[in-house]
Structure 1
Amino acid sequence: MTRKQRRLTLIGTGLATIAAALGLVSFAMRDTIVFFHTPTEVQAKSVAPGVRFRLGGLVQEASVQRGNDQVTAFRIEDTNGAVGVQYRGILPDLFREGQGVVAEGLLDPSGTFRADTVLAKHDENYMPREVSDSLKSQGRWHGGDPAATGSP
């Protein structure tokens, strides 16, 4: 084997090893490379209790429960499902019913999401891309660009 052939073999082996490592890493992370899960995905995937993840969707109308000047519970919904959320703490100023939110926490055995962080959209025109794409695909998009909703 000539010197050039050995060098090409070494480079090819190195590239194949790197490609295999990247393939294994992306395969292992296929379910965790998601900004959030919708209530429908949580119900369909049967997320195990105690697993930490983000839950995103719209705050369901008339679902916010308040106690001692703080929100204690609300529901996050999409078109096909809703998940109850328990939260203790101060919510963002723009948190309200019908608005997009992303909550971070874990699911308890009863199916209630125990949130320790709640994020709300920061102005009238902003919604996380994943939330807006999910709403558009389900036909529930109510804001922003009229061309995106299909209305004149």
Structure 2
Amino acid sequence: MTYSDAHLRDILTRTKTVAVVGVSTNPVRPSYYVARYLSLKGYTVIPVNPGHVGKTLFGAEIVGSLSEINRRVDMVDIFRRSDAVPPIVDEALEQFPDLQTIWMQIGVEHVEAAARAEARGVDVIMNRCPKIEYQRLFGELRMGGFNTGVISSKL
């Protein structure tokens, strides 16, 4: 799966509301810090996790499923195993008629579910992280001081 930088940038720019399926309340889990990062970048994050319903995360109440969300969602970000993807995609397509993007996190892929979404005009990104892509595409990714102007190999 190859996605152009322009395509990823377009998705991240047009997206306003993200439902994060499988979000954790544990701050060391990737789903927590990705959702937190997105909320700090101005996205409205709707946390989805049936094991934490009613708790608050990033100023929003955690819901148990996508069907409990009664507002527009632009992107569904999936932090679940690949075999759990099909019912999530089906629920998202049914619940959100204006859904723009299904995003499957690093290590998460499901070609058949992706095809169903794409057939409905929904963009699908698999095996990528929106936090990493945002940082990379909008000039925030810094690796060990590289490209910061602080460390130089020049004498």
Give the TM-score band, short-chain normalised.
Answer: under 0.3
TM-score by length of 1: 0.27
Greater helix share, structure number: 2
What TM-score results when the alignment is normalised by the length of structure 2? 0.27
